[in-house]
Amino acid sequence: MRVNVGILYSRIRRDEKLLLNELRDRDHEITKVDVRKQRFNIADPPEALVDVDILVDRCLATSRSLYATQFAEAYGIPVVNGAETAEVCANKVKNSLALQKAGVPTPNTDVAFTKDAALESIEAFGYPCVLKPVIGSWGRLMAKIESRSAAEAILEHKETLGHYEHKVFYVQEFVDKPGRDMRVVAVDGEPIAGMVRSSDHWLTNAAKGAETAEAETTDEMRNLVETASDAVGGGLLGIDLMETGVESGEPSDLTVHEVNHTVEFKALNEVTDVDVPARVVDWLEARAGARSETAEVRT
Ligand SMILES: Nc1ncnc2c1ncn2[C@@H]1O[C@H](COP(=O)(O)OP(=O)(O)O)[C@@H](O)[C@H]1O
Ligand SMILES: [Mg+2]
């Protein structure tokens, strides 16, 4: 079955190229939609979207992603990931609340709205602890806080110089992970493949230059990935996990620190034998197919 796949983008990165190549190889119709050129009317979809069977949101800017997915849903155009998933994943506070509610182990976190309250959270977690921007990725603007004086300085800087989102202080316990974390890319909770990201730096994002290697997805990981995916509303997701308790010699447990919604998969594709874009397109075909079947039933 041939489908028209819309790709909503502002920049075509390697990840999007991989996806486009796979779609072309399978002879699907592709509608590239540059989000910067669109006007989204509250009643009528932009011309570029009318023939699309399924829209894939690959916007880099979170704000665009959040609004564009809402418009797509309002027009009745199936979009991955959905607006609700984007909403939860784009925001670390919502992400943590969703994981906690679903019973997924996740690092303990406080949110405070003033410098003084945030300092109390930091002192309660002890040093080191972590301060993260509520919205952000690629390890940007993350702070590992090692002392009270550093805490005071960072909080003052954020309060004075930060834009309003930086006045929501997201404070997290530091997880003494063994120099690596794990990223699993999954579709509706089903892992496609996983990788470990290792670094001497406490930030192990691939975007920060961490070394990547394939990781076997264990049963424990599969369970956590499935529950974490459900907790944020499902979709094509990148689930980030850390091992805890390694330093103390205890058997390590896993904790999920975040779920990402416009997930990059080029690094994963390089380290695994699994054809990641092919698996993503399999899933897109199934989603689009399920839709045309319901459309047929309705007509
Ligand atoms: N609580 C924590 N303790 C120790 N390391 C952490 C903690 N939270 C995040 N990290 C490290 O920082 C990286 C980035 O954190 P993450 O919450 O995933 O933010 P981003 O959205 O920027 O990727 C993680 O991949 C991990 O290596
Ligand atoms: Mg991350």
Q: What is the pLDDT of residues 108-129, one digit of tens each?
A: 999 999 999 999 999 999 999 9
Residues 15 and 68 in one domain: yes
Q: Is 175 in the pocket of ligand 1 (CB under 6 A)?
A: yes
Q: Is the pLDDT of residue 186 over 70?
A: yes
Residues 200 and 270 both lie in one domain = yes
Q: What is the mean pLDDT of residues 170-198?
A: 97
Q: Which domain holds residue 271?
A: 180-278
Q: What is the pLDDT of residue 272?
A: 97
pLDDT at 208: 87
Q: Are residues 167 and 191 in the same domain?
A: no
pLDDT at 1 over 80: yes
Confidence (pLDDT) at 299: 47
Mean pLDDT on 258-278: 96
Residue 212 located in a structural domain: yes
Determine whether the shortest distance from the Cβ of 133 to ligand 1 is under 6 A: no
Task: Look at residue 296 in the predicted model and tell me its pLDDT.
Answer: 57
Verify whether ligand 1 is closer than 6 Å to residue 177 (CB atom).
yes
Q: How far is the CA of 147 from the centre of ligand 2 (A)?
A: 24
131-180 per-position pLDDT tens digit: 999 998 889 999 999 999 999 999 999 999 988 888 899 999 999 999 99
Instruction: Report the CATH number that the domain containing residue 69 is assigned in CATH.
Output: 3.40.50.20
237 lies in the same domain as 156: no
How far, in Å, from the CA of 139 to the mean position of ligand 1?
7
Domain for residue 289, yes or no? Answer: no
264 CB near ligand 1 (under 6 Å):
no
Q: How far is the CA of 295 from the centre of ligand 2 (A)?
A: 37
Whether ligand 1 lies within 6 angstroms of the CB of 136 is answered as yes
Q: In what order do the strands lie in the sheet with 143-145?
A: 109-112, 169-173, 129-132, 143-145
For ligand 1, say whether the CB of 107 is within 6 Å of any of its atoms: yes
Question: Within this chain, do residues 76 and 114 fall inside the same structural domain, yes or no?
Answer: no
pLDDT at 6: 98
Smallest CA separation from ligand 1 atom 14, residue: 139
> Does residue 207 surpass a pLDDT of 80?
yes
Relative to the alpha carbon of 243, which ligand is closest?
1
pLDDT over 60 (residue 295): no
Q: Distance between CA 56 and CA 140 in Å, rounded?
A: 25
